[in-house]
Amino acid sequence: MSKAIDSLEKVLLPFAVKLGKQVHVNAIKNGFIRLMPLTLAGAMFVLINNVFLSFGEGSFFYSLGIRLDASTIQTLEGFKVIGGSVYNGTLGIMSLMTPFFIGMALAEERKVDPLAAGLLSIASFMTVTPFAVGEAYAVGANWLGGQNIISGIIIGLVVAEIFTFIVRRNWVIKLPDSVPASVSRSFSALIPGFIILLIMGFVAWGLTLIGSNFHQIIMDSVSKPLASMGSVVGWAYVVFNALLWFFGVHGGLALTALNSGILGPWGMENMATYTQYGSVDAAIAAGKTFHFWTGPMLESYIFLGGTGATLGLILAIFIASRRADHRQVAKLALPSGLFNINEPILFGMPIIMNPLMMIPFVLIQPILAGITLAAYSLGLIPPSTNFAPWTMPPGLGAFFNSNGSIGALILALFNLGVATLFYLPFVIISNKAQTVIEEEESEEDIRNALSF
């Protein structure tokens, strides 16, 4: 293990250090770190709503045999309005907040006014956002939530770069020193703001002429090509689901056509066949077959802690990381990670747009899929024949999705161990790379990176 880590370190450490100093990568990293209060709060309320306030059929506690009377369940369901409102104000506006913090962070790297760049980024995002939901004059929630983050990243970076270009050429209004700094700052951003928003307005107007908008083009360019991969749907899903998340696109939502249109129905077919014949053996004896690639299979053996098997990353941080900030993120992410909610670790490390962590995050899913397929082919695990709640912790989810298979539970825990070991060397290298970067940074660089 030590030799393997040393070999990886020789190849990846210089690469990681170089990328860690790249201004755009740094801006994305710092932007997502500043979004952590939103992601942590939102994830906690998702956990509360989907686990601790859910006792109806199909819920986590229902699967454990806990039954409450209908009136109590209805009362608890009523409390979910609170968590739903918090979600709308946190994870539900991630795409709206992303350009602000990333534009602000990049402006700091470029040594220009970060607040002005952040405000212009969020204004630009809204300028290219369609104000129409059917016939109503409104903004669709789908443009503001996590599924549209890549638009926010692009706009934040582009606006900050245009702002820097204009300011460095002194295309600004300068007021006398006697004018208060807050007023002077507002006027200095007036011309850059006019130019940037004019450009964004032209973009929005031009795209309406072809019946589209900026966000839709970004999402379509990612999701439509993948939706046509029906012949290799399972492998396409496990690879591109993580890859899309790395680039800031909600993989599950972008690949809805694959999950809801193919993997979900295959799982339903398995369950119907099992219900009809009473057991897997009886169904096979009657000439029936089961699908391997199903939604419950992915949740049982691959999405351990969420996309990218990030519960394995959390455990690897506890085992190998000596950085206080990484360990603190892992502690905060663990409770939600146990129930397959991984936004805190995705945005807290962050994994999104982190080239070093991209390697294990993307590769671990096909590796776990290969292990699971091998175990299935050898008859060590049965097909998925049930639909356990997606919030079911790793191991338990596999047990219930297989209608009580101990082999399924063991394989899920084995896969979690594999994921943890796979993440370990990258956690160690990430620690060393960050240490090298910090040693080479000046005090001013550090102050600029951390200041708001």
Instruction: Tell me the pLDDT tens digit for each residue of 244-273.
Output: 888 777 777 667 657 755 787 688 788 878
**Residues forming a β-bridge with 136:** 133
* Amino acid at residue number 283: A
| Inter-CA distances, 149 with 122, 146, 263, Å | 12, 5, 25
Digit-coded pLDDT (tens) for 412-436 = 999 999 999 999 999 999 888 877 7
Q: Give the Cβ contact number of residue 161 at 10 Å.
A: 17
- Quote the pLDDT of residue 16: 62
Q: What is the pTM of this model?
A: 0.73
Q: Look up residue 128 and give its two tokens.
A: 């290219």
Give how far the C-alpha of residue 78 lies from the chain's centroid of Cα atoms, to the nearest Å: 28
Mean predicted confidence (pLDDT) in 175-190 = 74
pLDDT confidence band for 227 (50 / 70 / 90): low
pLDDT of residue 229: 54
pLDDT classification of 123: cutoffs 50, 70, 90: very high
- Confidence band for 35, pLDDT divided at 50, 70 and 90: confident
Q: Which range has highest mean pLDDT (7-11, 357-361, 369-373, 445-449)?
A: 369-373
Q: For 384, which DSSP code? A: P
Give me the pLDDT at residue 15, please. Answer: 64
Cα–Cα distance measured from residue 432 to residue 145, given in angstroms and rounded to the nearest whole number: 34
pLDDT-derived band at 117, boundaries 50, 70, 90: very high
Of 43, 134, 159, the residue nearest 94 (C-alpha):
43
